[in-house]
Structure 1
Amino acid sequence: MTTILVTGGTGTLGRLVVARLRADGHEVRVLSRHAQPYAVNLLDGAGLDAALAGVDTVVHCASSPRGGDERAARNLIAAARRADVAHLLYISIVGVDRVPLGYYRAKLAVERQAEQSGLGWTVLRATQFHDLVATLVRGLARLPVVLVPAGVSDQPVEVAEVADRLAELAAAPPAGRVPDMAGPEVRTFTDLARAYLRATGRRRPVLRVPLAGRTYRGLRAGGHLAPDRAVGKGTFEEYLARTVGVGRGRAGTGGTGGHTKADGGA
């Protein structure tokens, strides 16, 4: 039986990865700031050695757009080397090397740390999760007019499908950088916003607003998209039907983590 530790194991993605791995018969340790018995703050690393003792594979889902990912990864990798962990699996984001966003740069830096760690490693990049897109649009829809960035599209993917892929990769040997995983459709942000409004029974005009800056140019160029890797099955409308109550104007059970994956432990 393989012993697998999942960082951020109580978060949007991590909890689903934990469930899949346990269903497959693996012994799984859940690491986050508050999950006993492996309550660890990766930013200081206290308790990591005990958490990693006897672990074969680490699935690193913990991340925060507020910062600290690089430091957390250094602590995790150092402890994994001390514990002779055989496989480090990291979930990253499509476009971290093409869109000049601070959080993306941090994710790319963690990819490099994994590659240079001396451990067996695998990196999977995925596009944004449906729940992040819904959270963004829900915030925009609080105004009488929904303002969306002009010329920007997205390709959201079902988080449960990404969890399934991670569980598959965790049970396999290290594979390096594996093919990206993206949702089934490239959709304009205008279209996604209108889909959300229909699902919530709201009536709002949607106005496209041009922005400025390198990050906006990277998004307009589609640096965060992977149309050639549209392997996801679940659509945004299916996500909305499952999680958004018509007329309530808010997401039901989707959470707010999206593909920022603020899953704790970092």
Structure 2
Amino acid sequence: MTTSEAIQVRGLEKSYKTLRVLRGVDFAVARGGIFALLGSNGAGKTTVVKILSTLLKADAGTATVNGSDVATQAADVRESISLTGQFAAVDEILSGRENLVLVARLRHLKDPGRIADDLLERFALTDAAARKVATYSGGMRRRLDIAMSLIGNPPVVFLDEPTTGLDPQARIEVWQAVRELAEHGTTVLLTTQYLDEAEHLADRIAILHEGRIIVNGTLDELKRLLPPAEVRYVEKQPTLEDVFLALVGGGKDGDAGDDRTTAPASEDRR
């Protein structure tokens, strides 16, 4: 493992009785980058994340996270990571600020109130800090969940399908939060089944299919695997996404313009 790699996986295998979920998975994630593990339901994405976060043992292969082996140095791995699962793990009875203060105290950090206030501002939740989380929208809950995972400044964050079940505006809010993680130097491993999510966020994309990585590269490298597109000049019509974002806005920070013009990877752009 080189100093430029935060995660390295070699020959990872995992089976549940006769079902082979992982069949020799190999990939590496650069420090400070966003790496998307793309695949359909049942491809093995969550199994990879569980192994890397020491929640599950591999049958074969090796994996290192932030320089520590997940099998033999599990405690060191857990100290350097944070895991956000498919559903927001927040306490709805508490306010947003109280959720953050609670986690900071559990981590025995100094000045938990200041830590909470800094994260609320960073994730644009200051105005809702005193409200019970039960009143939050899906996007706000997910942003709070990600903020909670950053307490203690872990260098590596795992996001397992973070936008599952969210509406379009909430997804855009979460995308902005993920971009900000990388801007602050955090390494992000993102699993998703959404093509547009991987296209919007990732520096590198690996496609996991039937337990194997079938392709791994930047978006441009993956596009070059197909024949060049035929250039035709057609009148561009607004998509439903364009209409929706124009009417409701593009989430926080007024970044709707960027998101409106990027179509999902599976669509024919017009």
The alignment's TM-score, normalised by the length of structure 2, stands at 0.29
Structure with higher strand content: 2
For CA contacts below 8 A with separation 6 or more, give which structure has more relative contact order.
1
Q: Give the structure-1-normalised TM-score.
A: 0.30
